[in-house]
Chain A
Amino acid sequence: MTLFLIKLLNGLTSGALYALTAFGLTFILGMLNIPNFAHGALFAIGGYLAYSIGAAAGSYWWGLLSGATITAVLGVLLERGMLRHLYGSGPDDENFLLMALFAVAIMTQEVIIMIWGGAGASALPPPALAGAVKLGPIFYPKFRIFIFIATAVIVLLAWLLIERTRIGALIRAAIEKPEAVLLLGIDIRVLFALSFALGAFLTALAGALSLPLRGLHPFVGMDILVVSFIVVVVGGLGNLYGAIFAGLLIGILQEFSTYIDSLAAWPASYLAMMAVLLFRPTGLFGKR
């Protein structure tokens, strides 16, 4: 029973990180309609920046916040500086956009190695969250519980933003009907930039949160990229809340598939995605 509990909590906590990243990805997907192949790079940069700033400032929290903010800014620069030139509707346009994003991801890996070295980085959890806490029959690391709670709070805040503010309403409208928003005299480019920034911010936050959990290495971007896409496909492309549930689901799936074989975690995720693509292509929770 204790084993089951620990595994469940593990699945929920790593699932929470997946959910957060996928949530960010869905913003970008829903708003700009681009599958962001550089999403993993944003995760990695957010994490590494949090590491350096946190170490320099002596506070994990400052690292977390500034890492995510700087990454959001970088994301906006990427979108406005490069990506917007590549939007188009021809058959080749999307493919080449994906190529460019993937190239950015590869370049980011190299930049990370150049700045932070190839060995990877990690940090201990902040003192307030170090150690384990007794939850019924088991001891469970405090930081992992924090990740779950933090993700829930962040998602709640994001929901409030989208559903209850004017900006959020504009974003929702722009997703449904871009022309209508233009008629209102709103500069849609600002909305695009904002959405990308939000998506990048959330992902970078996930990266910073994973620093004490799994540590970072230059290739973490690729791993996260694949998982994020598995999650959004399973949840339903463009479905914000589907992404959350799918993230948790995939986290739990990976955790429990180690019962079968230590290697089984990632093929299980791929098989889940393939099953969804074959039998319910709009995702478990449907599109938007």
Chain B
Amino acid sequence: MSTFTKRRSILKATAAMAGAGALPFIGMPAFAQQNEATILGIIPLTGPYAADGERIQRGQQMALEDFNRVAGSRLKINYISRDTAGDVGTAIRRIGQAHEREKPVAIAGPWADDVAAAVSEFAQREKIVHAFSGGPLPCHRYNFQWAPPYYAGVRASMEAMVQQHPDAKRWYLLTSDYAFGWTVEELERKFAPELGIEIVGAQRHVLGEKEFSPYMGEISAAAPDVIVFNNFGLDTAQSLRTAFSFGLTQQAKILVPWGSGIEDYLRLDPAISQGIIIGTAFYYTIDNPIAKSMAERYIERFNEPPGYPAGSGYAVMQMLLAALADLDDISPASLATALEGWHSDDTLVGSMTMDADTHQAFRPFFVTQGKAPNEIEGKFDLARIIATSDGRVPAGALDCKGVV
């Protein structure tokens, strides 16, 4: 794939001059005959994650539009979407029915981890490609994970905190009680000794908790230097607000090792978010042409910056479309083969390789920090990227040892 890089950059420059902005997919040789493929996007449009689902769909559709603009003649994409309603049963039912009727070659999504697990199993049984962001999930021939491995993300976030505050050695962990939380907490405990960190206490809270005051007492009593919030999305916002009201965010440093990006900052008042470190798989100020172009257009269209849901929606779809466009014969098996080892320097997050053995993506992870109220220069200028890791992990560090 990288043989096209030079040609791609020339074409990109041309396109940029023509005012199209930087788009991916440029530089693909034309094919004589137009192929057709159906992609099924599954997202939570109703239910507890409805707000995220709407944004994921925006990202997916923007990627599709960008693709059609540049490479639409090579490949006609039939995009269908289904609402998971944030519920595993509903999701599987609707996917099953869509699969029976439309025979998609790939599924993009979903959002919630438990739905993703069920979808992955379905994809393995029915042999369709499943590309998603999040996890952790057991890997198999047909699923492909876009988000960087938790190993890389947690490591990068912890290192950024240690670098900024080398004396803050006493850490307290507040973890949400499901697979995501357990994985992140386990990694933190693993890295802590190396980084000279002492874990002085830990509590688990139920996913979707609204009342965090019961947890504050213990945290306060432990008097930690750093409080780590191993949760995501609304849980992060709610727990941080409560911690703030108890004076804890002012007394200790705050780390959110795996967050949503701009959404986290938008949900909190700058008084709360200043100085907190949030690691994320996507942040809208990423400094590459594709990301800048996408962020600009997104802000113009939707009056808000793209966060993790929109970013992952866009990027996952982009990856599928780019891989599909180069295929002669469209089938899940050939797509899966094409994705193994897929590499591009022009993805939304920069340079990315889809590892053939583990079906995990090796790509950058971003650590951000909230700006103080007097540093803020615009409605969305709430944080800056303070570190970017390359997302690589040591061999054997991933759970997936090899694809079945």
Measured CB to CB, the residues of A under 8 A from B are: 2-3, 6-7, 10, 13-14, 113, 117-120, 122, 124-125, 131-132, 138-141, 143-144, 212, 214-215, 217-220, 223, 254-255, 258, 262-263, 265
Contacts and interface: CB of A to CB of B under 8 A. Distances in A.
B338 interface: no
Given A2-B217, A2-B221, A6-B216, A141 B241 contact: no
Interface string B251-294: 00000000000010001010100000000000000000000000
Contact of B247 (A7, A113, A139, A215): A139
5 contacts: A2-B220, A120-B51, A139-B247, A143-B245, A258-B214
B234 interface: yes
Is chain B's binding surface mostly helix, strand, loop or mixed? helix
Given A2-B220, A214-B238, A217-B234, A144 B245 contact: yes
Interface stretch (B129-137, B184-192, B204-212, B373-381): B204-212
A215 B238 contact: yes
Contacts of A140: 246
Given A7-B214, A131-B247, A139-B246, 19 more contacts: A2-B221, A10-B213, A118-B51, A118-B54, A119-B51, A119-B234, A132-B245, A139-B220, A140-B246, A141-B247, A215-B238, A217-B48, A217-B210, A217-B234, A219-B48, A255-B214, A262-B177, A262-B209, A263-B206
A125 B203 contact: no
A214 B210 contact: yes
A9 B213 CA distance: 10
A124 B217 contact: no
B210 A113 contact: no
Contacts of A6: 213, 216-217, 220
A173 to B, nearest CB: 39
Nearest to B48: A219
Nearest to A131: B247
B211 A120 contact: no
B205 A262 contact: yes
Interface of B: 48-51, 54, 177, 203-206, 209-211, 213-218, 220-221, 234, 237-238, 241, 245-247, 263, 267, 269, 271
A124 B203 CA distance: 25
A262 B247 CA distance: 22
A223 B211 CA distance: 12
Contacts of B238: 122, 214-215
B210 A223 contact: yes
B241 A122 contact: yes
A171 B50 CA distance: 43
B50 A3 contact: no
B234 A120 contact: yes
Contact of A214 (B49, B50, B211, B215): B211
A226 B204 CA distance: 24
A117 B303 CA distance: 14
Nearest to B233: A119
Contacts of B241: 122, 215
A7 B217 CA distance: 7
Contacts of B213: 6, 10, 13-14, 144, 255
A132 B210 CA distance: 20
B51 A262 contact: no
For the complex of A and B, 5 pairs with smallest distance between CB atoms = A118-B50, A119-B51, A118-B51, A6-B217, A10-B213
A258 B214 CA distance: 7
Contacts of A119: 51, 234, 263, 267
Given A3-B217, A119-B267, A124-B271, A113 B50 contact: yes
Contacts of B271: 124
A243 B221 CA distance: 33
Contacts of A218: 50
A37 to B, nearest CB: 21
A263 B177 contact: yes
A3 B221 contact: yes
Contacts of B209: 262
B236 to A, nearest CB: 12
Nearest to A9: B213
A220 B241 CA distance: 17
A10 B245 contact: no
Contacts of B269: 124
Contacts of B54: 118
